[in-house]
Chain A
Amino acid sequence: MKYNIQLVGVGGQGVLLASTVLGNAAVVEGLEVAMSEVHGMAQRGGSVQCSVRMGREILSPLIPMGAADLLLGFEPVETCRSLSMINKDSQIVTNTTPVVPISVSAGQDKYPAVDEVLSAIREANPNLIAMDATALAVKAGKAIAANSVLIGAISAVKGFPMSKDRMLESLLEVVPAKARDINVRAFELGYQEAKGAGL
């Protein structure tokens, strides 16, 4: 078994932290793990990508194009940008809250309507679970828990190789104790939202 997850988003959104939660869970599960992450300059508000691979006979930290089983996007445009990482059978989970790049604010670029972005993704691959993770996080108690919403959501995806409990346990290891309840709620909201989407 090999399961490849591509995580994409914007520097500062916690993409790195989410990939660590995934990796740690896989290690506890007794799987082989190889991951690759971005540090340094690209973290300053730029597009970031992390890859997480787990299973047997895993060596490469990078995923070939088209070979990601799951694409987890923290930002809709970034999800759309990374569609070449997946194939027609892959699953997609994306946050729908945009992070508007400075190129748009300064008037050099245009940010497309989120609905258009989502339909473009859906047209390429209908296995899309899109959610306003930020709104769900606010509902759970704090916008910053959007990360936990998304981690909850992927735990409900068809074919995902680890249990909900394993993921929650791994998440709680990296969140501060005082934010535990908020993150548990956020995780659960994300999980239910994805279950409801029925993919």
Chain B
Amino acid sequence: MDRLLANSGRLLLLGNEAIARGLIEAGVGVAATYPGTPSSEVGSILEEIAAPAGMYFEYSINEKVAVEVAGAAAASGVRSFAFMKHVGLNVASDAFMTLSYTGVRAGMVIMTADDPSCHSSQNEQDNRYYAKLGLYPMLEPSTPAEARDMLVEAYRISELLQVPVLFRTTTRVNHARGAVELHKAFTPTRRGRFEKDPQRFVPVPANARLLRVEQLKRMERALRMSEGSTLNFVTGSSRVGVVTSGVTYTYAKEWLQDVEILKLGFTNPVPEDKVRRFLEGKQRVVVLEELEPYLEDEVRRIAQQYNIYVEVLGKHTKHLPRAFEFSPDLIISLSSILKVREEKKPLPLPSIKLPSRPPVLCAGCPHRATYYAVKKAVGKDGAIYSSDIGCYTLGIQPPMQTVDYVLCMGASVGAAGGFSEATEQKVVAFIGDSTFFHAGIPPLINAAFNRHKFTLVILDNRTTAMTGHQPNPGTGREFGSVQSPPMPLEPLVRACGVEFVHTVDPYNIKDTIEVMKEAVQYDGLSVVISKHACPLLKTKEGKLVPTRYEIDQEKCVRCYTCVSRFSCPALSKEGGPVKIDATMCIGCGGCAQVCPKQAIEVVR
């Protein structure tokens, strides 16, 4: 990661690395996040390089806190950055909506990493509307190199307008890779001074009304900046026009011919005059943007407002889809409305039937053992499994099927309360340790307060696994020369008002089943903390010493309990005998415990 601190060079950077580098070139002094794909790697990088770059970085408990931390820093004259995945901005939205009233003194940028096609998300909401809703200037990069450049520009804009800038990326920018020429790193101001100004920073109604008027005036100035910005440019010359932004620009540029492209990088406010001039004299304009018709509505509005007659094609005319991300293939498929560059004919898929390969819980994942134990404890009557956001959502697949209901971070606990009041069914909720800290505590207190009856299992794998093993309050902090001890879950859960609290090690399946039985039979609110560190994390840290297991084929009766009920990816049956893949097996011993014939044994 040290290479990101260099003062020159041409590096192949992941979009998220380019963004981290942009922070260094912009002299950002404070950065905060809650990890979420596709934004997570920015945090993993800052964990290593923030301190040597003179920047303070933290994993905040959730996105709202991250925006509050960064907002206060920028109000104190320190450039700041808050970043998150798209749904994280929902969590942060309360702070977000008023931060554009009070504004900032030093530059502040809020990155929302959207995920068209839901690669790693529960929805594909288009967060460009947050810029309109909250009255934020917004920039949208197309490539890693542009992300770095635009980030530096975003800080300039933010300081001129005294308001944070919304920096909207998508998965195909965050997780794209490209060459980036490094510019000079800038030593940040790490400590500023907060000069009091209650009229500005305390939006009581009397102040808020004044700030609201200020906010609208600021957007007038932002419009003039957008009109003059080189981030909005025209390339090519034709009477057929394309208006586009984000990664879609790269597809349009490579696979469209004989078009004039208006590429928008400063997309709130949309540069009205620039769009008007672009529309004039065009026969046809196609708006190419992923998800919602955000730009298209602006283009239609501007055409109407200035009495320009031009054919506008897009989502409203059903020429382009609203669902899912765009691709070069989608652009090539537009040959009836635009001139495209065809590619060679793809090979047809062979008729041979191939097995599907969805993502699965890893070999040795403690969640598998927990799920197995809970299902045993619940028995035939079954339960409603209210689940949450994390690796454990993979329990949706057979044979576990321990995920019946998911909404958002923390909803497992809130919804469990609802199920317990509205049904006669047994309710078991699952939440990860990091997710519990993020949004699980208020609904747990709510459950105790309102006497909801359900079992909550906290899947404590000692990390934030899905997003790449970031620390959380439960693990304590040990990076960037800040140290804090792990916050124990048991007393925290008790303090929430829960009387039945037990901690188990899911690798001990028998004991776990016993405790789970007690918990689900308990007449009240019960919490079981199922605690075992993620083996991937242990492997990363070089702490995993695998125990070798083998199957005694003499003892094995081919009942396939291990394969069909426990379903560890390290187990397979090809034909008759069950085999353990020694390269995958980490020696958790789960399969050995579920084997009714004790046919799976430790060999080393």
Contacts and interface: CB of A to CB of B under 8 A. Distances in A.
A61 B582 CA distance: 36
B254 A57 contact: yes
B571 A41 contact: no
A62 B328 contact: yes
B344 A89 contact: yes
Contacts of B352: 80, 112, 116-117, 120
A85 B38 CA distance: 24
A46 B332 contact: no
Interface residues of B, number: 66
B250 A59 contact: yes
Given A44-B361, A117-B352, A39 B347 contact: no
A86 B346 contact: yes
Contacts of A190: none
Contacts, number: 209
A40 B38 contact: yes
Contacts of A143: 583
B178 A34 contact: yes
A34 B13 CA distance: 10
B205 interface: no
B178 A124 contact: no
A7 to B, nearest CB: 12
Contact of B250 (A34, A108, A120, A125): A34
B328 A64 contact: yes
B247 interface: yes
B43 to A, nearest CB: 13
Contact of B355 (A40, A85, A111): A111
B11 A27 contact: yes
A66 interface: yes
Residue of B37, B354, B360 ringed by the most chain A CB atoms within 10 A: B354
Interface stretch (A97-105, A152-160, A161-169, A179-187): A97-105
Contacts of A59: 142-143, 249-250, 253-254
A104 B574 CA distance: 9
Contact of B12 (A12, A27, A89, A111): A27
B225 interface: no
A196 interface: no
B478 interface: no
A120 B353 CA distance: 10
Nearest to B582: A143
B360 A45 contact: yes
A192 interface: no
Given A20-B12, A59-B250, A62-B251, A87 B354 contact: no
Interface stretch (B214-222, B420-428, B450-458, B562-570): B562-570
Chain A contact residues (Cβ within 8 angstroms of B): what range? Answer: 35 or more
Contact of B564 (A11, A27, A67, A106): A106
A39 B37 contact: yes
Contact of A45 (B353, B563, B569): B569
A159 to B, nearest CB: 14
Contacts of B172: 36, 61-62
Contacts of B563: 105-107
A38 B175 contact: yes
Residue of B37, B172, B356, B564 ringed by the most chain A CB atoms within 10 A: B356
Nearest 8 interchain pairs by C-beta: A66-B346, A40-B120, A46-B359, A40-B37, A109-B355, A35-B177, A87-B344, A61-B176
Interface of B: 10-12, 14, 37-38, 40-41, 119-120, 142-143, 172, 175-179, 247, 249-251, 253-255, 327-329, 332, 343-362, 391, 394, 398-399, 466-468, 560, 563-564, 567, 569, 571-574, 583
Given A58-B254, A59-B143, A84-B347, 17 more contacts: A12-B362, A19-B177, A34-B250, A35-B12, A37-B14, A41-B391, A61-B172, A77-B354, A80-B352, A83-B346, A84-B349, A87-B343, A100-B572, A101-B355, A108-B398, A111-B574, A120-B351
13 contacts: A23-B12, A39-B41, A39-B120, A40-B120, A41-B394, A45-B359, A59-B143, A59-B253, A62-B251, A66-B347, A101-B355, A105-B573, A106-B567
